[in-house]
Structure 1
Amino acid sequence: MKVLIIDDERAIRRALREILEFEQIQVHEAENGKDGLELLRSNSFDLVFSDIKMPLMDGMEVLTAIQMEKIDVPIVMISGHGNVETAVQAIKQGAFDFIEKPLDLNRILVILRNVKDRNHLVEETQALKATVKKIKGSKIVGESPEIIAIKEMIERVAPSDARVMITGQNGTGKELVARSLHDLSNRAKMPFIEVNCAAIPAELIESELFGHEKGAFTSAVKDKKGKFELASGGTIFLDEIGDMSASAQAKVLRALQENVIQRVGGEKDIKVDCRVVAATNKDLRKEINEGRFREDLFHRLAVIPIHVPSLNERITDIPLLADHFLTLVCQEQGIQKKEFASEAKVELQKINWTGNIRELRNTCENLSVLKSGKTIEVADLDARLTQPAAVTPLVHPLALQPGVFDKEKNEKNLLKQALANAGGNRTKAAESLGISRRTLHRKLLQWPELEVEIKPNS
């Protein structure tokens, strides 16, 4: 135990020191409040004894400063004759206890025991909070070596403010990694703000990220805070960062370098304090080489890289994930709890999960709703899942013959087939093609005849 004594009377300091050292307690001294506060700022103490009346800075001022600076230490006020009322007032303001002069040995020993109990309780509470945070953050299901490595990385990195770049295919759970980083961080009680850069049109992305001033553009009828401001004190998750426009990239870079942003149409610098986590399904090195992504921004974002494997790269996790999703969906839908037969779990591991975890969850949801009994057997699995699907050529054979390759026609065929296979759902079509939804939208604007053939209602 480490104790600080703040008192201008040398005799009091000496008497208190003798009592404390007899109890095997490490003691530090200061003869006024100002020196005592400096020691508190630079050292960690388990307890402070402070006189009330002192030169330079009295005990009440020390108490106020400790609270203002959020120095977590119990303080016991030492009161002389005539200072009892002040000591009681100090208790009301947050002091742990008070003792009167002349010092009473038994009273001091009782205070020491109470402080030890208090500190032990604080430690237990902190440990419990850490455990709860750990449980809260362990939403990532899996025991494969790849997933265990990711969980360990998250636990190491989360407490810091280091920026993280998460890479992986669509549907692998990159957002889950980002949320776990936030949940296990010191910012967990503050906002987690997600921005899907691919889903926001290029002309609106800057307004979404940085906000805008009233009158900045036609529809800006009032001031609006951007995502960076809304994430103040917490975490901002920039999903699909590879789809961000060049001008937005430049502004994000400034925000990372200087911790300031400017709203669209504004001139005032606004300080921002948020951790930045980014994710992409693209090869950003390739994007940099082809001039679509800033190398300096990449280095600012990718301080800690985390790659999330595809579901096909972690097939040993599929039974665990299937059980997890089935239980979750049954709870959400309020239906009878169901389970997979062991043979069905084996069959699930044989499937080529191109949609990754997202596809597996959708499959579990489908099975939980359609299955009337409690156990899902192999026969309940859709035939298209349990058997290798015949690959439908997306390109006409002539398009692949030398000398007759038509790039535009090929792209149109690809888009048309992907949209048809997805039932007109643009998001699914884009995922099957390995492109962003925004890219697909741009292509459909370029070739409006495809809009006629496929209803653009998704």
Structure 2
Amino acid sequence: MTSAASILLVDDDFHLADSMAMWLREMGYEVVTAESLGTAKSSLRKRSFDLVITDLRLGHEDGFDLIAYSRKEHPDTSVLVVTGYATPATAVEAVRAGAYDLLTKPLIDEELTLAIERSVHQRKISQENETLRQQLDRRSGMENILSHDYRMLKVFDVVDSVADARASVLITGENGTGKSMIARAIHSRSARRSGPFIEVACGALPDNLLESELFGHVAGAFTGATGNRLGKFQLADGGTLFLDEIATATPAMQVKLLRVLQEFQFEPLGGSETHSVDTRVILATNEDLSKAVASGAFRQDLYYRVNVVNIVIPPLRERVGDIPLLVDHFLREAAEASDRDIDGFDREAIAALQSYGWPGNVRQLENVVERAVLLSRNSTLTMEDLPPELTGRNGDVTFASSAIDSASSPTRSLSDLSGRSLREALEGPERIIILQSLREHQWNRAATAEALDINRTTLYKKMKRLGLDDPRLQYAS
């Protein structure tokens, strides 16, 4: 029994109510009595109660009105009905109206005590569940965004503040810092959470395909357009559209984006019908858009439109204190996925992880931890399990040594060309150039293709032909 529980006792029979109140107080409850519906409502407006015990007949008034009022104005308060005119149908109706239980007069002390204890206990459970739900809601969408850094905590506060706003949000930060996760967190914590979340990597598509991807197209709009197709803006209607790598949009695409962000209206590619959407837009870039505006590469009016709220994600090297937390999280995930029993990194290895610059940020850290778990033979991970770029050691796994030897000795290379075709002779230097660029861009193939001024399909074919598609190469020196 909860002795501190408060009860509002409502009955038009004053003597019965007074007698029952006295008995309940002796049981340890705090009791307030009311003789009418108006008095009961007045008491409920003044304070909250754990439980309302009411008769269904209050003179000429109906106890169902009190049940409805309590359910609407005080949903956390349980209602226990006590009546001398109960039928099975009355009991069902009372429970449907919001009553926790119904007892019939004359009352049995033990029956009433048990009913009160159950209702008060149920109220406590409901309150605990609500508290838990609120705690989960506060973390909803940010379950995998782990940080103790004060700048990231400020980011979390901004996410909460702008989650339900209609305004565009611009997320900036280096590659691998988690811009997509922040965008998803904003969506998950907004009133649009039940709607779609659609992500588009603007840099991965040429301009004409990007326009079709975003706005859709009609049949015959271009070669191969055999039917109408909805764009991402329409598919994200009622939800959130996340435009990543927005700085790569061409001037023509920037004009189209400016209009849809201002008016939320557009025409599909090749069509004349105007469509309106209710789509929340979040954008991201790893570039400094203010510099792009100054150089003329990015429209100033579009910059002001997308930069209503700017969330800046700090790079991992500036929040070293988060590294042990992230390492522990990634280690547990990798160990579980590979069915390995791993205790963790030793102090020297953790120190090395914290002293590294992390050009690939959190994404690179995750890869390093996964590599260590997969390649280590021991339960404790050490410096030996870290890749060469973190330790300064030469890698113990080497690939294409003949190509590297040839590059370091031009005279020898020239002497070995006899009997080889030009393509075969160029494979060694070509492989070295591609491998070096892949490493410089943390094996990001899109960035590598752009740096080498070739398209991604060509890069993939070359990597396969030159043996660079082996995933173990990522962990070699």
Structure 1 length as normaliser, TM-score? 0.62
2:253 is equivalent to residue 248 of structure 1: no
User: 1:123 maps to which residue?
Assistant: 127
- Root-mean-square deviation (Å): 5.7
Secondary structure in structure 2 of the residue aligned to 1:179: helix
What amino acid does structure 1 have at the position aligned with 2:261? V
Instruction: Determine if contact 2:246/2:283 at 8 Å carries over to the other structure.
Output: yes
Instruction: Determine if contact 1:193/1:231 at 8 Å carries over to the other structure.
Output: no
> Against the structure 1 CA distance between its residues 335 and 48, is the aligned structure 2 distance closer, same or farther, given a 3 Å change threshold?
same
Secondary structure in structure 2 of the residue aligned to 1:354: coil
1:226 to 216, 228, 232: 232
Take 1:263 and 1:26, find their aligned partners in 2: how far apart are those partners?
68
Take 2:151 and 2:361, find their aligned partners in 1: how far apart are those partners?
19
User: 1:428 maps to which residue?
Assistant: 444
- 1:13-92 equivalent positions in 2, closer than 5 A: 85=89, 88-89=92-93, 91-92=95-96
2:301 is equivalent to residue 295 of structure 1: yes
Deviation string 1:300-344 (CA, Å, 9 cap, x unpaired) is: 5533x3222222222333344334323322222223425322112
Larger Rg: 2
The range that moved more, 421-430 or 329-338, is 421-430
What amino acid does structure 2 have at the position aligned with 1:339? G
> Against the structure 1 CA distance between its residues 369 and 222, is the aligned structure 2 distance closer, same or farther, given a 3 Å change threshold?
same
2:338 to 329, 333, 337: 333
Take 1:190 and 1:451, find their aligned partners in 2: how far apart are those partners?
38
Instruction: Determine if contact 1:262/1:269 at 8 Å carries over to the other structure.
Output: no
Deviation at 1:384?
A: 3.7
- 1:353-368 equivalent positions in 2, closer than 5 A: 353-368=358-373
> Against the structure 1 CA distance between its residues 216 and 123, is the aligned structure 2 distance closer, same or farther, given a 3 Å change threshold?
farther
Take 1:169 and 1:427, find their aligned partners in 2: how far apart are those partners?
15
Identical aligned pairs, as a percentage?
29
User: 2:406 maps to which residue?
Assistant: none
Take 2:102 and 2:77, find their aligned partners in 1: how far apart are those partners?
15
Take 1:190 and 1:453, find their aligned partners in 2: how far apart are those partners?
36
Take 1:268 and 1:25, find their aligned partners in 2: how far apart are those partners?
60
What amino acid does structure 1 have at the position aligned with 2:368? T
Secondary structure in structure 1 of the residue aligned to 2:198: strand
1:455 to 439, 442, 462: 462
Deviation string 1:34-87 (CA, Å, 9 cap, x unpaired) is: xx9xx99xx99988999999xxxx969x969x89x9988767889997998466
Take 2:92 and 2:434, find their aligned partners in 1: how far apart are those partners?
76
Deviation at 1:206?
A: 4.5
> Against the structure 1 CA distance between its residues 220 and 282, is the aligned structure 2 distance closer, same or farther, given a 3 Å change threshold?
farther
Structure 1 gap ranges (5+): 6-10, 390-415
Deviation at 1:281?
A: 0.9
User: 1:161 maps to which residue?
Assistant: 164
What amino acid does structure 2 have at the position aligned with 1:154? F
Structure 2 gap ranges (5+): 22-28, 58-62, 395-431, 470-477
> Against the structure 1 CA distance between its residues 152 and 189, is the aligned structure 2 distance closer, same or farther, given a 3 Å change threshold?
farther
Secondary structure in structure 1 of the residue aligned to 2:242: strand
- 1:44-443 equivalent positions in 2, closer than 5 A: 85=89, 88-89=92-93, 91-92=95-96, 96=100, 117-134=121-138, 137-143=142-148, 147-155=149-157, 157-158=159-160, 160-162=163-165, 164-184=169-189, 191-209=196-214, 218-219=224-225, 221=227, 224=230, 226=232, 229-230=235-236, 232=238, 235-244=240-249, 245-246=253-254, 247-255=256-264, 265=271, 266-272=273-279, 276-289=281-294, 290=296, 292-293=298-299, 295=301, 298-299=304-305, 302-303=308-309, 305-337=310-342, 339-387=344-392, 421-422=437-438, 428=444, 431=447, 440=450, 443=453
What amino acid does structure 2 have at the position aligned with 1:197? C
Q: How many residues align?
A: 400
> Against the structure 1 CA distance between its residues 188 and 417, is the aligned structure 2 distance closer, same or farther, given a 3 Å change threshold?
same
Deviation at 1:381?
A: 3.1
Take 1:187 and 1:47, find their aligned partners in 2: how far apart are those partners?
36
> Against the structure 1 CA distance between its residues 151 and 86, is the aligned structure 2 distance closer, same or farther, given a 3 Å change threshold?
same
Secondary structure in structure 2 of the residue aligned to 1:221: coil
Instruction: Determine if contact 1:3/1:46 at 8 Å carries over to the other structure.
Output: yes
Secondary structure in structure 2 of the residue aligned to 1:318: helix
What amino acid does structure 1 have at the position aligned with 2:352? E
Instruction: Determine if contact 1:278/1:301 at 8 Å carries over to the other structure.
Output: no
What amino acid does structure 1 have at the position aligned with 2:232? G
Deviation at 1:170?
A: 0.5
Deviation at 1:421?
A: 2.3
Structure 2 length as normaliser, TM-score? 0.60
Deviation at 1:196?
A: 2.4
Deviation at 1:369?
A: 2.0
Deviation at 1:125?
A: 0.6
Deviation at 1:271?
A: 4.1
> Against the structure 1 CA distance between its residues 123 and 383, is the aligned structure 2 distance closer, same or farther, given a 3 Å change threshold?
same
Secondary structure in structure 1 of the residue aligned to 2:350: helix
2:451 is equivalent to residue 444 of structure 1: no
Take 2:248 and 2:75, find their aligned partners in 1: how far apart are those partners?
44
> Against the structure 1 CA distance between its residues 287 and 156, is the aligned structure 2 distance closer, same or farther, given a 3 Å change threshold?
closer
Deviation at 1:174?
A: 1.9
Deviation string 1:78-135 (CA, Å, 9 cap, x unpaired) is: 9997998466335346554568999xxx999998876654443322111112333456
> Against the structure 1 CA distance between its residues 118 and 211, is the aligned structure 2 distance closer, same or farther, given a 3 Å change threshold?
farther
Instruction: Determine if contact 1:327/1:338 at 8 Å carries over to the other structure.
Output: no
Take 1:209 and 1:50, find their aligned partners in 2: how far apart are those partners?
60
